Amino acid sequence: MTNPLLAPWTGPFALPPFAAIADDDFAPAFARALAAARARIAAIAADPAPAGFANTIGALELATEGLDRVAGVFFNLAGSDANPAREALQRELAPELAAFRSEVVGNAALFARIEAVWAARDGLGLGPEEARVLMLTRRDFRRAGAALGAADKARMAAIRARLAVLATAFQQNLLADERDWVQDLGAGDLEGLPDWLVAALAAAGAERGRPGPALTLARSLMVPFLQYSPRRDLRAAAFRAWTARGARGGATDNRAIVAETLALREERARLLGHASFAAFKLEPEMAGSPGAVRDLLTAVWAPARARAEEDAAALTAMLAADGANGPLEPWDWRYYAERRRRVLHDLDEAAIKPHLALESMIAAAFDVAGRLFGLAFRPLEVALHHPDARAWEVMRAGRHMAVFVGDYLARPSKRSGAWCSAFRSQRRHGGEERAVVVNTCNFARGTPTLLSWDDARTLFHEFGHALHHILSDVTFASVAGTNVARDFVELPSQLFEHWLEAPEVLDRHARHVGTGAPMPADLRDRLIAARTHDQGFATVEYLASALVDLAFHDGPAPADPLAREAEVLAGLGLPHAIAMRHATPHFAHVFAGDGYSAGYYSYMWSEVMDADAFAAFTERGDPFDPDTARRLERHILAAGGSADPEALYRAFRGRMPGIGPLLAGRGLAAAG
């Protein structure tokens, strides 16, 4: 029988034939797709015709399309619905795919053709996007070691293969720790918890086959439990379990993986002539150097820490008033910060969440996209990768733009966090294709599913990434959508979050799940006014992780990463009651792959731009100003990576921003 992963996908919108795919199909599909890709690469390298853009760079763009198609399905499934068969294959594939990558960049004849095209570029009549793709292709090959000698190429290939194995192990260990820990809760353990949280804990218990309500390590359960449980003993136990992921000893402990990963990254950078892995990694980003990153992070650290210390004093007084002994601890902060928010802003999550049903917030995100960019969303009845997932066709003026898939609910088989990925990217080269993009989240399921304010912000954030794919309008897939500099990729996502706070969006969509009544205006206004509440804490816990990430990679690799982590945090003066947002053994951004390594700073780098970019709308007096929206689409969302990111931002805004809007947006401008 024909393997459904390799046969033409003839269903609606050429979606993957999920209903026909079995786990046993993946290994043979990868084997055949790899063989086909190798043959196409070999043909490009051996082409007797002189090297030109079309027969070299353009051909490379299409050489792995079959492999990319199979990988797009598999790795989306591996992250969102893992099972033993998929995890085993993922472990097998990691070194095999790394070896294929090493073969490609190590192909001397192929690299010689790329260099020949580069040398002749001025006489080829290339358009701006073609010139950009040529530059990026050559840079990618050189940064992967294509110009190294034979011995160093071999060592680079071995490093790449080992790093792939380590990243896969890190991710699977973390998922195992998250999947295996569960705490049954008796009636007395539910004291003080709001009804919506009790219902979510009951749903989690039922999903895990427990006798009653249960707490898991899903963020959508853990954070509200830490916010609302008056039981300090339970909060402490839960927090310790949550922060111990990846560091519990035994087969799933990630500490040795982290140390080896850092050492191999340093060796990789030095083989390529860089002083450190951070210097290597940041060279092609907007930041350009570790020094530029450190300057930004430390400029924000001082006012953020000052605000956090002020808040800690207030929370410590509340703790003492409750008769508790000892200092404010990390498991106390969220509980007392939530109580303080109720006092300062008269806000209660129990009054907010019924207005933030999942369905309403999806509708709100779609509505904003419609008002800004003219997009419409039509539900689709199609087979998808999991029963929780849903799909919509995205249209504009009668034209098909993309398929959007939302997979929003937490489950034990899904890795933690929220992310945007694609089964297919937009392109014109090799035939017109539109994106199939998926947002994956981990919201606690309910009947109905209700979101916290942070959950709603996460939904908008990930949909901002999706818009980068949906509105992509480039020729080459390699620069489509989110294929941009790492410290530029978060601009569309963080920018889209601002529309969640637009009063007219809340008035239209934040309606009570029971009565349909809009959120009362005074509640809405208090919620928006409280946007900077506890931003000292939020900023410090983020910056602590970003600065540790930078320290790990800017200099010799530490033999004991946790000792280096402690040294960095002590040097920063991290307040006792605030922990890193992502402790090293579960810092998946940095160690479950190479994407955010030496790059966790990028959220804040992008935030400098997103705060300024939204000001482009407010300066016009309309968060839906049509002219500004058109410029945003043209220069940012549609352009992808087809031009230099700073040039794109300047084309949109006319200049680059300072950090003033960021500090003001976080309520830190007067701190320090």
Q: Confidence class of residue 349 from pLDDT cuts 50, 70 and 90?
A: confident
Q: Confidence class of residue 670 from pLDDT cuts 50, 70 and 90?
A: low
| Residues 326-346, mean pLDDT to the nearest whole number | 96
Question: Smallest Cα–Cα separation from 475: which of 632, 648, 642?
Answer: 642
Whether pLDDT at 316 is above 60: yes
- What are the pLDDT digits (tens) for 95-131? 999 999 999 999 999 999 999 999 999 999 999 999 9
Whether pLDDT at 194 is above 90: yes
Sign of the alpha-carbon torsion through 485, 92, 386, 431: positive
Output the six-digit token pair for 74. 């598999």
- What are the pLDDT digits (tens) for 579-622? 999 999 999 999 999 999 999 999 999 999 999 999 999 999 99
Where do the H-state alpha helices sit in 54-211? 59-63, 65-80, 84-105, 108-119, 128-143, 150-180, 195-207
The answer to whether 166 and 257 are in contact (CB under 8 A) is yes
Query: How many CB atoms are closer than 10 A to CB 352?
Result: 21
Output the six-digit token pair for 271. 């083989």
Whether pLDDT at 292 is above 50: yes
Active site residues: 462
Whether pLDDT at 538 is above 80: yes
Q: Distance between CA atoms of 88 and 611, rounded to whole angstroms? A: 43
pTM for this predicted structure: 0.96
- What are the pLDDT digits (tens) for 372-429? 999 999 999 999 999 999 999 999 999 999 999 999 999 999 999 999 999 999 999 9
Alpha-carbon distance values, 75 to 81, 168, 389 (Å)? 10, 11, 16
- Tell which CATH architecture fits domain 354-533: Orthogonal Bundle (1.10)
- What are the pLDDT digits (tens) for 439-463? 999 999 998 999 999 999 999 999 9
User: DSSP letters of 382-445?
Assistant: ---SSTT-EEEEEEETTEEEEEEEEEEE--TTS-SS-EEEEEE--B-TTS-B-EEEEEEEEEPP
Q: Confidence class of residue 672 from pLDDT cuts 50, 70 and 90?
A: very low
Q: Distance between CA atoms of 637 and 491, rounded to whole angstroms? A: 10
Whether pLDDT at 1 is above 80: no
Spell out the residues 6+ positions from residue 637 whose beta carbon is closer than 8 angstroms to its own.
373, 467, 468, 471, 472, 492
Q: Distance between CA atoms of 651 and 308, rounded to whole angstroms? A: 37
Whether pLDDT at 350 is above 90: no
Per-residue pLDDT, 101: 97
| Residues 48-64, mean pLDDT to the nearest whole number | 98
| Residues 231-250, mean pLDDT to the nearest whole number | 97
Whether pLDDT at 263 is above 60: yes
Per-residue pLDDT, 76: 96
| Residues 266-293, mean pLDDT to the nearest whole number | 98
**Phi-psi category of 75—alpha, beta or left, where left has phi over 0 and alpha has psi -120 to 50?**
alpha
Whether pLDDT at 671 is above 90: no
Q: Please, what is the average pLDDT of the chain?
A: 96
Cis amide prior to 448 (ω within 30 degrees):
yes
- What are the pLDDT digits (tens) for 5-47? 999 999 999 999 999 999 999 999 999 999 999 999 999 999 9
Q: Distance between CA atoms of 287 and 298, rounded to whole angstroms? A: 14
